[in-house]
Amino acid sequence: MSADFKPLTLTPRVPQFAAHASGIDLSRPLPPETLDAVRAAWRDYPVLCFTDQHLDPASLQDFAAQIGPFGEDPYVAPLPDFPHVIEVKREARETAPIFGSQWHSDWSFQATPPSATLLYGAEIPPSGGDTVFADCVAAYAALSPTMQSLLAGLNGVHTAAPAYGPKGLFSRDDASRSMRIIVSSDAERCEVHPLVRRHPESGRPALYVNHVYTVGIEGMRRDESRALLEFLFGHLTQPEFVHRHRWQPGSLLMWDNRRVVHFADGGYEGHRRLMYRSTLAGERPVRA
């Protein structure tokens, strides 16, 4: 064991879903034993909050690189000196819609969506700004066997068009938007993924649908797919599957996009909020 090994202390918030981690400094390179402990904790708790950290874009990017290869972040320009870090920023004066304010799984419209998102709270408003998560594994397990059987052979159609396309949400931004968002016709491309995916590490099945990017079901008419998707969206976001993370300055949140959906809440109008975000590469979703 390395001389500089520091034990990781876990405080569960939701059993098998969310926990706080303390006792280590993520601004410095971690010894192999500590990295192994971080990865193990994240396997057990797909929403993992590291408290009492002091990070900047450079140290966030360095920590993310220790965990795994970077994912691709389209439609949002990275920081000039840090190609794998984007600012999730909202100035006090802004009136444009809050970034990420509807239920989604990050970049599910990609052929290989990211496995993890890391989000660091650099400037936290005095109230509001929570990030809310839903457990797609628990939600799938709660479905009836008949519904599980129906979903087993179905594929969802995912696209970035509702957010980043020429007619998407961000195309209607006003001049107050401080983030550098890129609207493009490329966002209209579609990817098809199973409605129920198997987690590559645990093997557990999880619903893989979200309000923003899942726009249809392959082989179904629009009205048919909309009815089933609306049921799944409502089921997935019931209170028993939801955890609300309340930010504190100096927290780094790491979540597993393969088994959670999330959204950014508001309630901090008139205050500045600044976060730094990186994503880690994932794999093409495999049917459960």
Query: What are the Cα distances from residue 96, in Å, to 5, 121, 268?
Result: 45, 21, 13
**Could you tell me which residues are beta bridge partners of residue 12?**
19
Closest CA to 107 of 276, 258, 286: 258
Q: Which amino acid is at 63?
A: F
Residue 288 lies in a domain: no
Burial of 29 (0-12, 13-18, 19+ CB in 10 A): middle
Residue 173 lies in a domain: yes
- Confirm if 54 and 28 have CB atoms less than 8 A apart: no
Residue 1 lies in a domain: no
Residue 285 lies in a domain: no
For the record, the structure tokens of 186 come out as 């490329």
pLDDT at 4: 59
Residue 133 lies in a domain: yes
Taking the C-alpha atoms of residue 242 and residue 194, their distance in angstroms, rounded to an integer, is 22
pLDDT at 7: 82
pLDDT at 2: 55
Residue 287 lies in a domain: no
Q: Scanning the structure block, which residue is given the tokens 């990817």?
A: 191
Helix and strand numbers (H, E) in the chain are 6, 15
Question: How high is the mean pLDDT in each 10-residue block of the chain (288 residues)?
Answer: 71 96 96 94 97 97 97 96 97 93 97 98 96 98 98 97 96 91 97 98 97 98 98 98 97 98 96 97 97
Residue 176 lies in a domain: yes
Query: What are the Cα distances from residue 276, in Å, to 75, 122, 154?
Result: 16, 7, 36
pLDDT at 1: 52
The CATH number of the domain where 49 resides is what? 3.60.130.10
Q: What is the domain count for the chain?
A: 1
The DSSP code sequence of 234-288 is HHHTSGGGEEEEPP-TT-EEEEETTTEEEEE----TTS-EEEEEEEE------B-
Residue 94 lies in a domain: yes
Closest CA to 21 of 13, 33, 11: 11
Taking the C-alpha atoms of residue 114 and residue 112, their distance in angstroms, rounded to an integer, is 7
Q: Scanning the structure block, which residue is given the tokens 């797609």?
A: 136
Q: What is the number of residues in the chain?
A: 288
Query: What are the Cα distances from residue 112, in Å, to 71, 88, 123, 154, 258?
Result: 9, 22, 31, 18, 11
Residue 57's domain comprises 9-280
Closest CA to 13 of 135, 123, 176: 135
